[in-house]
Amino acid sequence: MKKMLYALIKFLKILLLFILILLFSNFIKLFVIDVYFIPSSSMEIAIYPGDHVIVNKLLYGPRWPRDPLEINWLNLLALNDTFYLWFKNTNWVYRRWPKGQTISRNDVIVFDSPEENKMTLVKRCKGIPEDIVEVREGVFFLNNKIDMEPSTVSYVYKVDIEKANLINFDDNFTSKYPSKYSSNTNHHNPDYLLPPSVALSMKNVFGDSSIQLDNIDPVSSKSAYGPLYIPGKGIEVNLNKFKREINHYLNIINKYEGITAKVVDDIIYLDGKPDSLFVFQHNYYFMLGDNRYDSEDSRKWGLIPEENVIGKAIIVFSDNSFSKVK
């Protein structure tokens, strides 16, 4: 009897320890730090496809789960038909506690996609509340001035390899900047993804005709956007002043602000009443990928609300190396 009791106590201790470890690991993953896989090239050359990033969730304040599916292990119950409807229909109010630092421009952010695909994305924050953002002929403007871009921002350039001796320019050029964006069969003029500083250096060495910014449609979403004023919590915006960009505001008002907004016969209606003054209840942000010609970002799906932000990417690691996210 004593042996059975001893075995039972030992089993319960192990079970309790196992439960505590699960709870602790779940707490860390939910509120402190997590690892995310990067499947796309939208943040090259800061983060490459196949890399992983470590995300600090404490910096901006840990976001509490908004539904049971966000809680590891508990979400396994959703596999059961009895629990599935509860999981599907249960949503909790957004809250971030304790409140952390504010999001800054050029922070590399991991966040939930504003589209319906439930993907997790990583982009660079380029606009915060009260900023005016604009993309003009592929160039990003912040508050009506050309923005000083981070060194990791890159564009597609067409290189004349007969004029540009890449090996003499940099022994590791082809490994640093592989030619994988070629859209033509002319191997003498391949496309390279390069930071503007590298492109400028190549022009200085080989001449202006050796490298050219690849042609893009000047009216495409990647070449032209805005100008758009970014709203924030408690900020009143006269929507009549932004008729040109009204669809961007209608999108976030209908999706995140909890009221119905529409335009009929050039008149703005808020919850069925003609009104152009609106006080926003959330902070919004403008996100861009560093790889400006191969990124789906705010130029496509608009501003994202603060509630979608998971945390800041702080470390990137691949198979062989760790480095700080720039």
| Mean pLDDT rounded to a whole number for the chain | 87
pLDDT at 181: 61
Q: Which stretch of DSSP H or E encloses residue 315?
A: strand 309-317
Residues 94-149 pLDDT 10s:
898 888 899 999 999 999 999 876 789 999 999 999 999 998 877 899 999 999 88
pTM recorded for the entire structure: 0.87
| pLDDT band at residue 185 using 50, 70 and 90 as cut-offs | very low
288 HSE (CA, 13 A, CB side):
29
**Residue 83 reports pLDDT greater than 70:** yes
Residues 244-255 pLDDT 10s:
889 999 999 999
pLDDT at 290: 93
- The tokens for 45 are 């050359």
**Residue 175 reports pLDDT greater than 80:** no
Amino acid at 16: L
Average pLDDT over residues 261-274: 92
CB distance 147 to 141 below 8 Å: yes
Alpha helices in 120-260 (DSSP H): 166-169, 173-176, 196-206, 246-256
pLDDT at 221: 62
Q: Which stretch of DSSP H or E encloses residue 135?
A: strand 132-136
**Residue 182 reports pLDDT greater than 60:** no
| pLDDT band at residue 62 using 50, 70 and 90 as cut-offs | very high
- The tokens for 150 are 């981070």
Of the candidates 287, 289, 280, the residue with the CA atom closest to the CA atom of residue 251: 280
In whole angstroms, give the CA distance from residue 133 to residue 142: 5
pLDDT at 195: 87
pLDDT at 16: 92
Average pLDDT over residues 168-183: 74
9 HSE (CA, 13 A, CB side):
6
11: left (phi over 0), alpha (psi -120 to 50) or beta: alpha
| pLDDT band at residue 269 using 50, 70 and 90 as cut-offs | very high
CA distances from 110 to 13, 62, 201, 203, 236 (A): 38, 13, 32, 35, 28
CA angle 38, 303, 41 (to 5 degrees): 20
- Return the number of other C-beta atoms located less than 10 Å from residue 241's C-beta: 11
Buried b (16+ CB within 10 A) or exposed e, 265-298: eeebebeeeeebebebbbbbbbbbbbbbbbbbbb
**Residue 183 reports pLDDT greater than 70:** no
**Residue 216 reports pLDDT greater than 60:** no
The residues facing 142 across adjacent strands are 133, 145
**Residue 179 reports pLDDT greater than 50:** yes
pLDDT at 74: 74
